[in-house]
A and B are shown apart, each in its own frame.
Chain A
Amino acid sequence: MKNGFSVFIAAFIALGASWCGFVLAPVLQLGTAKQTTILVSGDTYPVQRTGDATLGLQVYRANGCTACHTEQIQQDGVVFDVVLTAAGKNPVVVSNLISTLKLTGLTKEAADSANDKITTVGGKVETHLIPTGRDIPRWGIRRSVATDFLYDSPVQLGSQRIGPDLADVGARLGNADWQLLHLYAPQSVVKNSGMPPFHFLFETKKIGDAPSPDALNLPKEFAPPAGYEVVPTTEAKQLSAYLLSLRADVPLYEAPFTPAQVSTNVPAK
């Protein structure tokens, strides 16, 4: 490097290259993404959050929930299950054949070959596609893709799983009462939870003429003193609405699966 200008050029080229690759290209490719359709049903996805759920995202951001929680499910592979739907004209032959074949946790080639064998002897089959991975089915049914976050701003993907992943929490724990209880006293609904209680999202007030309909139904160890009730503030309700809106349970072209199949918990390849 002879002088400052050549150093500048070197740095410009190096950073410019990754700027093109990781800023410009994603903005052109992902930044112009539009809604897509759900496989089979054809409904549009995603639908924008409304009302409390949108404000809940800001509560999530403000409280730094992303420091402990991720919102991205990962997937290691796919397996196939071959399921008999009709025995056809030779049920005995078909059932004999099936008892000799492995029909769950197959690769695509094995599934196609089993498919051929069974249809040749007259049976009718369906092939089910099941995602596999450590996160599946624990935290969701398929991997997260860019379309899931189309309308999120700011995107809160997270980088630490000190607590569980939340991408599909609306499907897994879709009960507003549970969410509010968990925010106030996590240890009351999850044993040995490491999550700190968020008392400041709630108000402990004296019970008026009648208990308020929002009051939390707390177990004894966590309940306020007699004559007092715990009521969620607006922020708590918005956060709960946001959490309930977090779902990643529909099949998409990028992340297909056969729905209404409880994953067989087949280990990943």
Chain B
Amino acid sequence: MFRPNKMSDEPKNSNPQPEAEPAVTRSTVPMWIFSLTLVLIYLGAVYFDHHGGWFDPQVYSPYKNAEELEAYQPKSGAEALRAQGKKTYETTCGICHGTDGLGKPGQFPPLAGSEWVNAKGDKRLAQIPLDGLNGEVHVKGQDWSASMAAMGAGLSDSDLAAVLTYIRSSWGNNASAVTADDVKAVRATAVGKPAINGETQLKTIPE
């Protein structure tokens, strides 16, 4: 091992040979290290997808994403009702009337902007899903040939109230909410009755 000479007044050039600087070998990195890195990158991406909130500045742990945070917000009564109604609407009514409330031309009338939906009272409206509706109906100046079954008869009072509240406050509609009690009252008078026959009969039902 190279060791310097003892101290003298002036350092002298008397070393036999300079010590070697370190050397390197050239063996290549084995493939498993690269594979491990790629696997870890993949797992990391999955982790970030689940826990990262996708860079949303309002998502903090333990919430996982913006939708979850929105869903967990404590809601006022009307908001909670709307949220519940939206869920039920989309599974029960939206198939025909559309998730956007515009219906299907020639087949199912729209709910958006419909005068029947936006009526001041909700009793007439509540009876439509409870009994069903057949025959000729005018909606927004167009003729429709209705053949709607009693789609709401199987729903609970609170569910149906939520759905009606939802359609009365979505897509530009701005009518009052519907309570479960209102639905209950209508159900009591309408139970077992046949489907409403056309606009003429519909108009006889008080709002």
The reply to whether A255 and B60 form a contact with Cβ atoms under 8 Å apart is yes
The reply to whether B62 and A119 form a contact with Cβ atoms under 8 Å apart is no
A30 partner residues in chain B, CB cutoff 8 A? 57
The reply to whether A78 and B58 form a contact with Cβ atoms under 8 Å apart is no
Q: Is residue A155 contacting chain B, with contact meaning CB distance below 8 A?
A: no
Nearest CB to that of A268 among chain B residues? Answer: B62
Q: Is residue B71 contacting chain A, with contact meaning CB distance below 8 A?
A: yes
Given contacts A119-B180, A120-B156, A129 and B57 within 8 Å (CB-CB): no
- Bound CA–CA A116/B80 (angstroms): 12
CB distance from B141 to the nearest CB of A (A): 38
Counted as pairs of residues, one from A and one from B, with CB atoms less than 8 Å apart, the total is: 43
CB distance from A227 to the nearest CB of B (A): 55
The reply to whether A129 and B72 form a contact with Cβ atoms under 8 Å apart is yes
Q: Which of B55, B58, B71, B157 contacts A253 (CB 8 A)?
A: B58
Q: Is residue B158 contacting chain A, with contact meaning CB distance below 8 A?
A: yes
**Proximity bits, A139-160, B CB within 8 Å = 1, else 0:** 0000101100000000000000
Given contacts A127-B74, A256-B73, A258-B74, A143 and B57 within 8 Å (CB-CB): no
Q: Which of A40, A77, A127 contacts B62 (CB 8 A)?
A: A77
Q: Which of B55, B74, B156, B157 contacts A129 (CB 8 A)?
A: B74
Query: Which parts of A242-259 form the interface with B (CB within 8 Å)?
Result: 251, 253-258
B180 partner residues in chain A, CB cutoff 8 A? 119
The reply to whether A253 and B156 form a contact with Cβ atoms under 8 Å apart is no
- Bound CA–CA A253/B72 (angstroms): 10
The reply to whether B72 and A256 form a contact with Cβ atoms under 8 Å apart is yes
B71 partner residues in chain A, CB cutoff 8 A? 108
Q: Is residue B69 contacting chain A, with contact meaning CB distance below 8 A?
A: yes
Given contacts A116-B158, A127-B74, A253-B73, A75 and B62 within 8 Å (CB-CB): yes
Given contacts A127-B74, A253-B73, A256-B72, A143 and B158 within 8 Å (CB-CB): no
Chain A interface residues toward B at CB < 8 A: 25, 29-30, 33, 39-40, 75-78, 108, 116, 119-120, 127-129, 143, 145-146, 251, 253-258
The 9 closest A-B pairs by CB, nearest first: A77-B62, A119-B158, A254-B58, A120-B156, A29-B57, A129-B74, A258-B74, A254-B60, A256-B73
> 7 extra interchain contacts, Cβ-Cβ under 8 A, other than A120-B156, A146-B57?
A25-B55, A33-B57, A75-B62, A127-B74, A128-B74, A253-B69, A256-B72
10 A-B contact pairs sorted by A residue (CB < 8 Å): A30-B57, A33-B57, A40-B74, A75-B62, A108-B71, A119-B158, A145-B60, A256-B72, A256-B74, A257-B74
